[in-house]
Amino acid sequence: MASVVESLPQGLVSHSQSQKSADTSVLADWEIQAEKCRKVLRESLNPDWLLPARQLPSAEQLDVSTFIETCGFLSTRELEITATSATKLVEQMASGSLTAVETVTAFLKRAHIAHQLTNFATEFMNPDALEDAAELDAYFKATGKTKGPLHGIPISTKEHIEHKGRIAHSAYVALVDNVAEEDALIVQCCKEAGAVFHVRTNEPQSVMHIDCSNPIYGTTVNPHNRTLTCGGSSGGEGASLGLRCAALGIGTDLGGSVRVPAAFCGAYGLRTTALRNPYKGVCLPGAGQESIRCVISPLANTAEDLGLFQKAVLDQEPWEVETSLVPQPWKQASPLKPGSFTIGVMWEDGLVRPHPPVLRALRYAVEKLKSAGITVVDFEPYNHQEGMDIVSRLYFPECAVTQKDLLEKGGEPVAPLSDFIFNFAPPRPLTIQENWAFNVRRDAFRDQYHKIMKNQGVDFILCPAYVGPAAKLGDGHYIPYTAIWNLLDQPAITFPTGLKVEPTDTPYSDFKPRSAEEDREYNKYSPEEYAEAPLALQIVGKHFRDEDTVAAVELVSKIVQG
């Protein structure tokens, strides 16, 4: 069985990648616990679907985004299957020209190679996935019909989304004995719609980093440049969709955790309005904190597939089980036409200027949209400093005690990025009255932002997805370009522009930092270090206008990429 670590830049991945069982007599207590999960991963791999180490790219080859297409392991038909959108795969299976077993097998084989390249998986579910696919084929043969709108579609899921009988630990060693008693509700909904779950994916320690590394499995890297992170916290999902290891993916988003990985890896990532998608069955410490709600949302390789997923899930009426959800079915929006809506362009957030390639992508997109007849106006961000002051208090109102206690109990090393994110917490736990007061400020901020958009006639905001094209490994710090929309509870989607970092994206000659934070972020950039990184942007809609936001991205992305 080939070793993943041999194909990666030295020092990027640790712990889980040895294919041999660890000698527990020389491990620290926390590593003995972590080894339980590493063993699950090792034993879930199919050795017939792994490349020998000699056939893997060298450590010096940083861009492995097209390696699977050229390595010769997948057949031409398997490559065609994995390059096809979820929407079209369902159509092909409905016509009988493609089987679920064929589809799932192709994605499983691709995912095994991708794991060797990026270390994105925490567990493969090969036997169950193939058995489920065979049952779907038998159903189709007997009835001539597909089971549902996601019939035979392979879906990857972030590790802390629960699957019955499997460990869900949320990257905390203290939770590695937590075995799910039932599938998460969103998993149940997808299965009812005919989906097949085939692989679970990595996440960072604390599940709050724009990065993807933890002491249990090690580091997941970006397939476009393996010195860059795939993003986080749904980082494994970003790598999964970026390398087309799944037709759809499911992650969670509290500050950009679906959108950032999608942006970094060249996929589409949706952050829905809260209380639309079922959240029951997500293992995430801090349950009951509702001032800023975490949402569960899809990643895809087309905007159309985001809508496919949303309709399939909400057609199951999950609010009949999870009664806190808003009983709002997915009402497919009519295709948008140029001239029927206005996009406001937010060139920066007023706090940290984006890196040169990001602004180039934004200028490029604006030019393309205007040429296509889209109404585009400038949009000034409203007091994002106030927004971030609020959100930084509401992420950890109890001073991150929950997370810190779990790390202390588990005994694993605390990553610098965990310390960084915990510093967002207030110096002491908020009192109930103080939490209420921040909720009042939050709601007032939401109302004012909506009023400004409405007064300016702006239907959607086009803005950066991140301050840069990606972040270096262990160096992702700046979350406001995505987190602000979590505070505002507005639907947002990151999408690829089709552009990437070029050598001509040189640093600004006129840069004068407005703060230490802006200086820190600016000094991280050079075109050489971000070579080959894809450039993404973000479209933001209005509260509960998720369908319109997906429709906007369907049109905008086609124009920008065209």
Report how far residue 525's alpha carbon sits from residue 138's, in angstroms, rounded to the nearest whole number.
54
| Token pair in block for residue 304 | 């159309």
- Map out the domains of the chain with their CATH numbers: 47-282+291-320 (3.90.1300.10), 342-561 (3.90.1300.10)
Assign 13 a pLDDT band (cuts: 50, 70, 90).
very low
Continuous H helices in 351-397: 356-371, 384-394
Closest CA to 326 of 274, 254, 251, 270: 274
pLDDT tens-digit series, residues 113-135:
999 999 999 999 999 999 999 99
Assign 24 a pLDDT band (cuts: 50, 70, 90).
low
Q: What is the mean pLDDT of residues 97-109?
A: 99
20 is a catalytic site residue:
no
Among 7, 65, 233, 392, which one carries the catalytic annotation? 233
Report how far residue 337's alpha carbon sits from residue 352's, in angstroms, rounded to the nearest whole number.
33
The pLDDT score that the predictor gives to residue 1 is: 29
Please provide the size of the chain in residues.
Answer: 562
460-464 and 534-540 strand pairing: antiparallel
The pLDDT score that the predictor gives to residue 7 is: 38
**Unique residue bearing structure tokens 């040429």:** 371
pLDDT tens-digit series, residues 409-443:
999 999 999 999 999 888 899 999 999 999 999 99
Report how far residue 229's alpha carbon sits from residue 476's, in angstroms, rounded to the nearest whole number.
8
Among 65, 213, 257, 418, which one carries the catalytic annotation? 257
158 is a catalytic site residue:
yes
Assign 27 a pLDDT band (cuts: 50, 70, 90).
confident
Say yes or no to pLDDT of 14 above 70: no
Question: DSSP readout, 247-309?
Answer: SEEEEEESSSTTHHHHHHHT-EEEEPPTTSS--TTB--SSTT--SS--EEEEEESSHHHHHHH
Say yes or no to pLDDT of 20 above 60: no
Question: Is residue 73 a contact partner of residue 109, using CB atoms and an 8 Å limit?
Answer: yes
Q: What is the mean pLDDT of residues 301-316?
A: 99
Burial 54-79 (b: 16+ CB within 10 A, else e): eebbeeeebbbbebbeeeebbeeebb
The pLDDT score that the predictor gives to residue 26 is: 73
The pLDDT score that the predictor gives to residue 424 is: 86
CA distances from 522 to 197, 220, 229, 466 (A): 40, 24, 18, 13
Among 158, 191, 311, 404, which one carries the catalytic annotation? 158
Question: DSSP readout, 427-489?
Answer: SSPPPHHHHHHHHHHHHHHHHHHHHHHHHTT-SEEEEESSSSS--BTT-----HHHHHHHHHT
The pLDDT score that the predictor gives to residue 18 is: 42
Report how far residue 552's alpha carbon sits from residue 256's, in angstroms, rounded to the nearest whole number.
19
Work out the angle at residue 386's Cα, subtended by the Cα atoms of residues 441 and 341, and round it to the nearest 5 degrees: 90
334 is a catalytic site residue:
no
- Cα distance from N-terminal residue to C-terminal residue, the chain: 42
What's the whole-model pTM score? 0.96
